[in-house]
Amino acid sequence: MSLAGSQQKIFLRLLAALRPNWHSDANLPAGISELFAANRSFGSRDRRLYRELIYTTLRYLPWVEPLLDTDPTRATKVVAWLAADLPATRAYRMAHCGDWPDCPTTVEAKAAYLKFDAGAVLPAWLPRHCAEAGVAPNLDALHQRASLWLRLNTNDVTRITTEFAAKAWPTRPTAVMPGALEVLAEADVTKSDAWAAGLFEVQDLGSQLILAIAGVSPGGRWLDACAGAGGKTLQLASLVGSAGRVEAHDIRQAALRELEIRASRAGAENIGVLPALSEGTLYDGVLVDAPCSGSGTWRRAPHLKWTTSAGQVTSAAEKQLELLTKFSAFVRPGGRLIYATCSLSRLENEAVVEAFLSASKNFSVEMPAKAMGATPRSVGFAILPATHNTDGFYLAALRKS
Question: Exactly one of 97, 226, 292, 342 is catalytic; which is it?
Answer: 342
Q: How far is CA 362 from CA 199, 200, 331, 335, in A?
A: 40, 38, 11, 11
Q: How far apart are CA 283 and CA 331, in angstroms?
A: 5
Q: How far is CA 259 from CA 43, 147, 255, in A?
A: 32, 23, 6
Q: Decide if 320 contacts 290 (C-beta within 8 A).
A: yes
Q: Name the H helices within 201-339.
A: 205-214, 231-240, 253-266, 304-307, 310-328
Pairwise CA distance, residues 94 & 87, whole Å: 12
> Left, alpha or beta for 372 (phi > 0: left; psi -120 to 50: alpha)?
left
In angstroms, the Cα distances linking 344 to 204, 288, 358 are 16, 17, 22
Active site residue 130: no
What is the largest distance, in Å, between two alpha-carbon atoms of the chain?
73
User: Who contacts 373 (Cβ-Cβ below 8 Å, separation ≥6)?
Assistant: 176, 383, 387, 388
Dihedral sign from CA coordinates of 144, 121, 14, 33: positive
Sheet holding 171-173, edge to edge: 171-173, 180-183, 148-152, 200-202
The three-state secondary structure class of 397 is strand
Q: Which residues are designated catalytic?
A: 342
